[in-house]
Amino acid sequence: MRVDYTPDVTGDGPSGASVDDRDVEPADLTGGWDRLLRTWFAAAVAAAVPEPNAMVLATVDEHGHPATRTVLCKKIDADGLAFYTNFESDKGRHLAARPYASATFLWLPIYRQVTVRGPVVRVPDDETLAYWRTRPRGSRLGAWASQQSRPVGDRVELERALVEAAEQYDIDDDIPVPAFWGGFRIVPESVEFWQGRPNRLHNRVRTRSVDGRWIAERLQP
């Protein structure tokens, strides 16, 4: 079931775009990374790729060990990629200690992948609230019910916590944002666009910020 999945792709990128299979060139990234990412995201949506805004997020734990999980990107704009979570979850604690991450979109049906790396900052409270209000009631209650990443005895215990959260609010109540919940934004300093090609000669173009300006380069596969 798809629930609450469509992100805000703020900007002037096209919507409902068809897949253009030409090779991306470094010159396509002269103006930065965000327009092309929005274009590719729209193409993934048009191609009916399942959960097109799913991205694998990599963080580093307190021992310096990498950890990955899939999260849903909720906003793509010139400032970066935003996602939301429990700040007390594993990823929340990792990012509080080491505010840097890598995230990868993989759109296999159209042979494309994008990897974004950069420092991570908290999303402002007003932006978190605006997104929170778009979430279905069940998703808002679920955020209150789940002590994310902590052990739980069984499924019944988890479902009981959801019922208890629901009992706190009447059906018409404005459920508040938990103090332990909100958004993070990855501020890109490197973005790589990958296109699958025959004979493993894949097309890879990376743009990265160097001394305040963006440069683009082709990478060998």
Q: Which residues does the annotation mark as catalytic?
A: 200
Report the interhelical angle of 137-145 vs 155-166 (nearest 10°).
120
Question: 84 forms bridges with which residues in the sheet?
Answer: 183
**What separation in angstroms does the CA of 173 have from each of 47, 164, 170, 178, 208?**
38, 15, 5, 15, 46
Closest by Cα among 111, 91, 122 to 186: 122
Cα first-last separation, the chain: 36
